Structure 1
Amino acid sequence: MECNLESLATKQSHRRVLFCLYFIIFFASAKASSDEGIEFDKEILKQLGVAESAADYFRHEAKFNPGVNSVELNINGINQGWLDIMFSQQGEPCFNPDFYRQSRIIPPPMALGCSDLRMHYPRAIVKLLPGISRMEIVLPANLLQTTESSSRHYETGGLAAILNYDVQMMHNPRTGNNLQLSTETGFNAGNWIFRSRQIANHTQGQQQWNRLYSYVQRTFIDNKTTLQMGEINLDAGLLSTPQIYGLQVVPESALATKEGNGVTVSGVAQTQARVEVRQHGALVYVTQVPPGPFTLTKIPIVSASADLQVTVIGIDQQSHHFSVPAASFSSQYVPRARGTYAGVGRSGPGGNKQQQNSWLGVLTDIRPLGDLSDITQSILLGSRYQSAGLAVNTDLIPQVFLAAKNVVSRDQLNDKQGVQWGSNIGVNLISSLKLNVSSRHQTRGFRHFQNSLRHENRTMRNKKSPREEGQGIKQQYTANISYNPRLLGGFSLGYIQSEFFSNQTERRLSLGWSKKLPYDINFNLNMDNSLINRSDKSIYANISIPFNSHMSLSSTVSQNRGVTQQRLALNHQVNNRMGYNLGVNKVAGKPGQTLNGNLRLLPKYAQLDVGYFQDNAQQRSYQLRASGGMVGHRSGITLSPYAIQDTFAIMVLPGISGAEIQTNSGPVWTDMRGYAVAPSLSPFNSSRLEVNTKKLARNIDIKNGLRQVDASRGAVFTHSFTANKTRRILLSIRLASGEYATAGSDITDKEDNYIGTVGNKGELFLNNGTEQPDLYIKEKGNVVCQLDYRLPAETGASVLYEEADARCI
């Protein structure tokens, strides 16, 4: 029986409300019995005209269906993942040896088969929640096995092939057409991951193809380690290494006891822009940012001793560059997890034909020194290069972080040896006031591994910039102070000083202020000046005014090296499938202005971007971009609007197309067969998969539209939501005499299963009339008659329920 007051038609509402109130009164007058369920007051039932047999149906609380059920297990407030648990005919769980093994509860002395956990452990509390497929257990902590998180139950295995694509096409009347295709192919099989990425480019009749990497990977849960083989970037901690052909074994960061935050990069984008972060010329991070100041966190790096080179490329293809000094890195964050890192292999040829191959092996170990300190030790042995490093960081002093490192190197090919050392101090001075100071020093002979791959003759040395990384900088100092009082907004002041072996010095000063004004208006001001070259300065001011949560207008004034620009931009996210932005830019002293627009579309199974740009000379260019992914699995091919990551899920709503499911990556939709892909699951953490039931057709019933999944890295998880199409029928029942059936009479099927109770004026609500079962009226346990009824022709999916007449025969 279903009482959904909000969904009923107006003309039926007063009768249905009375009928629902019957059952509210049932439970208000009920007396609970722990052994026999709920007992109803027979006098009240009689006054309401409800048969006593109806009370038998509602006597007991909801139960799990007999047999195996997939259940989310929670022990002492901590989710343990989903387990398949056997339930008895009475809906009681079977606590067998397999359950104890997966749940990490110490098994009691028992024979094989089912037992009752509460009989062996009287203090244990078991709460069954069949409505959300969940079981909660509370018991003393000493009854849990003391193994670490690797013993938790994770979804593992699975088999699927993947293809990610990103196609960009640009048309410019002056430069012609440009087509770029980036693909990533691979497969997952038994927790093994294979991935290969390629880039193809076609410009003015010339074609270029490059393979960026190909590798195979697997995580071993019990050892908390990950094995990688192929073209990989070594995680060498304090030392700098190129991409190699080889293998490495590293701690699995998602299972590590301590995980770092990576490196933070801050800057300013004059327009909507693409930000590329490189280290040693290798791309380590790329993202899109809106106009204005940006801060990128958790940037992955492969070395703590090499500066980051940041390129900001605007929508008008104008770019500017800046670097993030390695001295500002905290050695606390590299490597990201405590443990041992080991790798061996051969360096690749790179992009320089004069570069020589070299074998190398790397070993890094990061260990705790007490509870608040770490020590990192790294060593690199190559055929023509050797290096070793040591770093210590500590939080022993309250509100103070200290870090120091030292790296020595020997380049046998060029007969160079040297030392690099540095320190970092972070202090929380008072509430909202933070100070960070760092330094880096090195001798003239210090070299990175990449420098040992080719001879340094005099001609090559003369062509190098004195600022070239790893060789030109003699010492570098950075200082940054930030203050964030609630009333005044956030302030930051930064200073960088670099001294080169060429006796040149560079000093830069930066200042920032941001403030949130009433009505969610945001204001930002950033300044960056060279203290040596007075013409090298930039100023950026921006104000953003939101019209609502989906639309905002921003105005920007900026000056860079004496050139002043003004920009006005409108951004509107219409819904989760469409958005657009429009912008106009004016450069002082130049005629005309530049215009740009971008339309973002998410047509369920791919992402599309359409861009337009017109410069001040009326030259136009157009851009079209399509991206997404696809998965090949046992049941066919399923498309995704997002790139497929190393751990993902295949979801099924059999026969239901267009259903929206929320995932970690955003909304996805089922295809014609009812399949959809969750492109990313958090390895060794809980991920939420939830059907948006508000957008389902009204004739679809779903048992449980939510699934929490804990998957191991590399797993391909498959889940089928239980859903079916149904017909809800409101019957108007009359006896053979033409009178309405008596209120309170029972309605049963031909197997004498209880279907419902007749309400006022002979009304009966069938929650699922698709199969049109044979129905009978019973009063005081005796069959009065069989009902004859005809269902109307099926109506649209938007109809909540249909009406039909039924008569005794």
Structure 2
Amino acid sequence: MHKTLFLLPISLFFLAANCNATAEKEKSTVQSSAQGSTEDWDLETLKRHGLAADVMENLDRLGKIPAGTNVVDISLNGDFMGSFQLRVTPQGVICFTPEILEEMGLPFPDTARSDGCYDWANSDNQISLAWQQETQSLSIVVPAAWRVNRRQEGETGGTALGINYNYFSSLNISREQRNGYSWLTLDSSLNVHNWMLHSQQNFQQDDEGLTTTVNSTYLEHYLSKLNKTFEIGEITVHNTLFALDTIKGVQLSPDYILSEDNDGGNGVVVEGSANTPQARVEVRQYDQLVYTTLVPAGPFSLDNIPVQNLNAPLNVTVVETHGASQQFVVPVTQLRRFTRGTPPGYSLAVGKIQNVPDGRGVPAILTLNQNWQPGAWWSLRNGALLSERYHSVALALDGVPPILAGKASFSLQAIAEQNSYHHSNGLQLLLSGNHNLTRNVSLSAGLSKNSPTFVTLNEAMLGSAEQKNHQNTELSLSINWSPQWLGSLSLSHSRTRSYQNARLWRYTMLNWNRRIGQNLRLSLSASTGSGGKQKNKNIMLNVNWSMGEKHFRHYYRSYNHREVVGSEINGHLSDSSDYNLSVEQDNSDRTRSVQAALNSDMRYTRLSLSAQRDNRHFSNYTLGVQGAVALYPYGVGFSNNLLSDTYGVLALNKPLAGVPIITSGGTAWTDWRGKAILPYIPPWQDSSLNIDVDKLPKNIDVINGHRTLHLARGTFKKVQMTLLTGIRLLITARLADGRLLPKGSTLWEEDRIVAEAVDEGVIFLSNAANKANLNVKIAHSTEQCTLSYQLSDEQDDDKMLYKKIEVTCQ
């Protein structure tokens, strides 16, 4: 052994001296996928210098990936990409699969997909491989441009039909009557190679019967050469300064998803207050119902309302459990707070207004809008709207003044219109802004003023007698103050006045909450609203405290000369289910009621149930279900989260249910086939998928539980991951004379290294067979022995991290 150690550096020096004779051989070896290494040993030379045969055999194997299936750490251009399962043929060819190359951001030729083993490493002389036996790692170097181009364009393809559903039903029963209300929204999208056919249908069932509405049906595709999204059908006009309802036509517009400010939602929030449990909130824009849901008593905040645009106010109706209702208006000046950043470029739309009053002609329109970015801190938008009897131009300036160090922003907009419906001209001015006055104080405000003759296109198509509500002024104001001693305090106010009859809508809301210690929180909310003949006042005081995983709330609620006091408790039934129990009393008429609710995330859908009953024999029952269904070639899947237009499916190599997959759109779960729908994959950017390995059964390992995707918009992606179901085996090994097997001894199965003794007598096999005969090369010795074992089935592999055995190497 000492002789070997002495001769090895001499042999290496001899090889260096003869490098000219072996240079061509080494170059060939670097580029050969059959070897998968950067160099070969000159074994004949080493043999002539007295190196032992078994040592030469080990040196020869150091530069080659062993034949068979290996779990290998791969790095690309110095970046670690993950662990992958590589298959190597007996001839030394490394078989690269589409999944491996796509995970690394490299293209896989379609012509090679039918190959049983694609020799990618030998397909181009710019590919370089380096194998490290001691770390079981493979370093790959390719030209940087190979990855950059792929990352810019995004991966395309895939075919699937996705359907988002949102259903709720409410039933009220009293001695006098029985009435119910049901609502179902279906948003469907058929993706075929990045062409998307969208459609939305609403179904409403009440005492008057069933009403069906198809809000929109259109075809969409991203045109990379124009850097524009193309839409045709019943479409909402994007990136416009004008208040336009749905049109039937075509549109070219910038892709909002390419904006840096995009986070997957439109950000529109509607806040209000309900007086009774399970009240129904209805949000309308352009006289069309765009969103409805059930809310509990007290203040509510609804996120990502699917508005058509931010250029027309929202009319919100809160229908209480007993049938009474309250209304308020969210003005355009308040919606401006939710304006997203838009990429520079033009937008063009041509078509006809869809919702036109009966008996009136359908006007054809053309609208063109342009976004400019002339400076680093300000942007300019202009637009034109042309129709046969209506013309309008608009100009908007948005900015972040550098003198205020990025703490404030403003928007100034002007719209002029001329219409021959009423032979008039009009002007609208709008100013909005926000300012972070200090770290704890922020202020936002908006003001809109219309001339008496200003009308939108939708209003212009109405007769003079029907123009009762076109706006005069809109005002919105909100302030947030959050000093540490006070907690969080917010105040918002909005008012809208129309010209006809000077009709005025006002809505004011105050919210305060303060946390005291870890387990106590106080909150107060108050709102007042008026409009037309309706007035509503609401005050609610809450005291919240916790005891372990249970949360308690005691509340006082006052509305419209009624006073209610109550208490509730909520907690977890499981990791995915919550319950709520409450009792309350109406002091005005001594009505007492009890309510129970259950919310459950059932992994493949979401379910909510509630029931309420009082001592006057009034009962209320509600049911809600939300989720998505995806149909794709040779499969169907279910998701508890709504699908976006860019999504996919993950398939495990084994039918294992209940494996959590952490995605950008929430946690997905594999079904009984080992497949999980990936509901939301952000397009045009890197997005990660991760298997939650802590939740895997103890006898299962994952080769590479991470994937990074970079998809184009409209792609349906199929991702495959490999699980290893085997036995983890901790072996205490001894030699025939009773000594522990020396550290560094290697276990071989034919010509492949299986494991190494990590300590004296300690061997760990991560994917062991039930029965094996392994050849052991004893460290610091030329001797070998055979290690044999056979496992029993007495232990439950699912519940054990590893098995322990003691063996003697014979």
Same fold (TM over 0.5): yes
In structure 2, relative to structure 1, the CA distance for the partners of 1:475 and 1:275 (3 Å cut) is same
Aligned letter for 1:429? Answer: L
State the partner residue of 2:474: 476
Q: In structure 2, how many angstroms separate the alpha carbons of the residues matched to 1:633 and 1:525?
A: 49
Amino acid at match of 1:434: S
Q: 1:558 to 1:798 in 2, by over 3 A?
A: same
> Which residue of the partner structure matches residue 652 of structure 1?
651
- Aligned AA (2:651): V
Task: From 361, 366, 372, give the equivalent of 1:361.
Answer: 366
Query: In the alignment, which residue of structure 2 is the partner of 1:450?
Result: 458
- Residue correspondences, number: 727
| Matched residue, 1:346 | 352
Alignment of 1:506-521 (within 5 A): 510-521=509-520
Q: Are positions 1:196 and 2:199 aligned together? A: yes
The whole-number CA distance in structure 2 between the counterparts of 1:622 and 1:717 is 40
Bigger drift between 186-195 and 429-438 goes to: 429-438
**Aligned: 1:630 with 2:638:** no
Change (3 A) 1:129 1:180: farther
Distance 1:340 1:72 in 2: 42
2:566–2:583: 8 Å Cα contact kept in structure 1?
Answer: yes
Give the corresponding residue for 1:406: 414
* Alpha-carbon spacing, 1:292–1:544, altered in 2? closer, same or farther (3 Å): farther
Residue matched to 2:394: 389
Q: 1:327 aligns to what SS in structure 2?
A: helix
Q: Distance in 2 between matches of 1:805 and 1:792?
A: 16
Does residue 1:663 correspond to 2:671, yes or no?
no
Q: How far 1:252 sits from its partner (Å)?
A: 0.9
Question: Partners in 2 of 1:636 and 1:804 — Cα distance?
Answer: 43
**Counterpart position of 1:324:** 330
1:435 to 440, 443, 449: 443
State the shift of 1:740 in Å: 7.0
Amino acid at match of 2:801: L
Give the TM-score taking structure 1 as reference length: 0.76
Aligned-residue offset at 1:670: 1.5
Which residue in 1 is equivalent to 2:178?
175
Q: CA deviation at 1:747?
A: 5.7
| Runs of at least 5 residues in structure 1 that lack an aligned partner in the other structure | 1-34, 38-50, 105-110, 120-125
- Of residues 254-263 and 414-423 in structure 1, the stretch that sits farther from structure 2 once superposed is 254-263
Cα distance per residue 1:61-107 (max 9 Å; x no partner): 9999999999797999xx999999999989999xxxx99x9789xxx
CA–CA distance in 2 between the matches of 1:133 and 1:316? 69
Q: What is the CA deviation profile of residues 453-483 of structure 1, one whole-angstrom value per residue up to 9, with x for unaligned ones?
A: 4434x4x45xx4xxx2xx1x32333443332
Who is 1:278 aligned against? 284
**Contact 2:181-2:205 within 8 A present in 1 as well:** yes
* Fraction of identical pairs, as percent: 21
Change in 2 beyond 3 A, CA 1:145/1:407:
farther
Is the contact between residue 246 and residue 355 of structure 2 (CA under 8 Å) also seen in structure 1? Answer: no
* Separation of aligned partners in 1, 2:360 and 2:73: 57
Are residue 716 (structure 1) and residue 708 (structure 2) matched? no
TM-superposed deviation, 1:581: 1.8
What SS does the aligned partner of 2:712 have?
Answer: coil
Name the counterpart of 1:239: 242
Q: Tell me the distance in 2 between the aligned counterparts of 1:156 and 1:499.
A: 50
Give, in whole Å, the separation in 1 of the partners of 2:454 and 2:604.
52
Quickly say closer, same or farther: Cα 1:383–1:151, change in 2 above 3 A: farther
CA distance in 2, matches of 1:600, 1:700: 32
What corresponds to 1:797 in structure 2? 798
Match of 1:540 in 2: 540
Checking the alignment, whether the CA contact within 8 Å between 1:54 and 1:757 is kept in structure 2 is no
- Is 1:379 the counterpart of 2:384? The answer is yes
Could you tell me whether the CA contact under 8 Å between 2:67 and 2:87 is conserved in 1? no
- Shift of the 420–545 alpha-carbon distance from structure 1 to 2, 3 Å rule, reads same
Indicate conservation of the 8 Å contact 1:657/1:670, yes or no.
yes
Q: Displacement of 1:167 after TM fit?
A: 4.0
The answer for the alignment partner of 2:231 in structure 1 is: 228
Deviation at 1:531, TM superposition (A): 10
Give the residue type in structure 1 aligned to 2:487: G
Conserved 8 A contact 1:654-1:673: no
Task: Provide the secondary structure at the position in 2 that maps to 1:451.
Answer: helix
DSSP 3-state at the match of 2:333: helix
State the partner residue of 1:18: none
Selected match of 2:429 from 413, 421, 437: 421
Deviation at 1:589, TM superposition (A): 0.8
2:695 counterpart residue number: 695
Report the AA paired with residue 391 of structure 2.
Answer: Q
Judged with a 3 Å threshold, the aligned counterparts in structure 2 of structure 1 residues 590 and 437 are, in CA distance, closer, same or farther, namely same
> Counterpart of 2:352 in structure 1: which amino acid?
R
The 3-state SS of whatever aligns with 1:728 is strand
Counterpart in the other structure of 1:40? none
Offset at 1:651?
0.5
Offset at 1:522?
2.9
- SS of 1:519 mapped into structure 2: coil
Taking the aligned partners of 1:595 and 1:320, their CA distance within structure 2 comes to 24
Residues 130, 265 of structure 1: alpha-carbon distance in 2 compared, 3 angstrom cutoff: farther
Please give the alpha-carbon distance, in whole angstroms, between the structure 2 residues aligned to 1:229 and 1:129: 59
CA offsets, 1:291-345, max 9 Å, x none? 5444556656444442222234566766432112223344892774432121111
Question: Do the aligned partners of 1:186 and 1:194 also contact (CA within 8 Å) in 2?
Answer: yes
| Cα deviation, residue 60, structure 1 | 9.7
Do structure 1's residue 163 and structure 2's residue 158 form an aligned pair?
Answer: no
1:581-607 alpha-carbon deviations (Å, 9 max, x no partner): 223333231222233222122333222
From 189, 192, 215, the counterpart of 1:212: 215
Aligned-pair CA distance for 1:190: 0.9
The alpha carbon displacement at 1:168 in A equals: 3.6
1:407–1:578 Cα change, 3 Å: same
Aligned pairs for 1:6-405 within 5 A? 113-115=124-126, 152=152, 154-173=154-173, 174-175=177-178, 179-203=182-206, 206-221=209-224, 223-235=226-238, 237-256=240-259, 263-270=268-275, 271=277, 275-285=281-291, 292-295=298-301, 301-313=307-319, 319-330=325-336, 333=339, 336-349=342-355, 353-354=358-359, 356-396=361-401, 397-398=403-404, 399-405=407-413
| CA positional deviation for 1:493 | 4.1
Q: Structure 2 CA distance, aligned partners of 1:129 and 1:667? A: 37
Alignment deviations for residues 146-194 of structure 1 (CA, whole Å, 9 cap, x no partner) = 99x9962523211122233334444444425655443333321111112
What is the CA-CA distance between 1:408 and the residue it aligns to?
Answer: 1.9
Q: 1:806 & 1:301 partners in 2: Cα distance?
A: 70
Distance in 2 separating the partners of 1:393 and 1:493: 25
Instruction: Answer whether contact 1:349 1:355 (CA < 8 A) is retained.
Output: no
Following superposition, the deviation at residue 725 of structure 1 comes to 0.9
SS of residue matched to 2:768: coil
How has the CA–CA distance of structure 1 residues 284 and 708 changed in structure 2, closer, same or farther, with 3 Å as cutoff? farther
For each residue in 1:261-303, what CA deviation from the matched residue of structure 2 results, as whole angstroms up to 9, or x when unmatched? 7555433344465544332223445566665444556656444
Contact persistence 1:70–1:85 (CA under 8 A): no
1:675 shift after superposition: 0.9
CA distance 1:426–1:165, shift in 2 (3 Å): closer
Cα-Cα RMSD: 4.9
Q: Partner of 1:485 in structure 2?
A: 483
Q: Cα gap change, 1:674/1:788 in structure 2, threshold over 3 Å: closer, same or farther?
A: closer
User: Aligned pair in 2 of structure 1 residues 64, 789: CA closer, same or farther (>3 Å)?
Assistant: closer
- Give the counterpart letter for 1:525 in structure 2: L
CA–CA distance in structure 2, aligned partners of residues 360 and 607 of structure 1: 42
Q: Distance in 2 between matches of 1:616 and 1:293?
A: 26
Displacement of 1:436 in angstroms is: 3.2
Deviations 1:494-514 (A, max 9, x none): 454554433466666554433
Is the partner of 1:797 in helix, strand or coil? Answer: helix
Map residues 540-579 of structure 1 onto 2, 5 A cutoff: 540-548=540-548, 550-579=549-578
Change (3 A) 1:283 1:521: farther
Distance 1:745 1:87 in 2: 25
Compared CA separation, residues 236 and 448, structure 1 to 2 (3 A) = farther
Q: Contact 1:651 / 1:675 at 8 angstroms: preserved in 2? A: yes
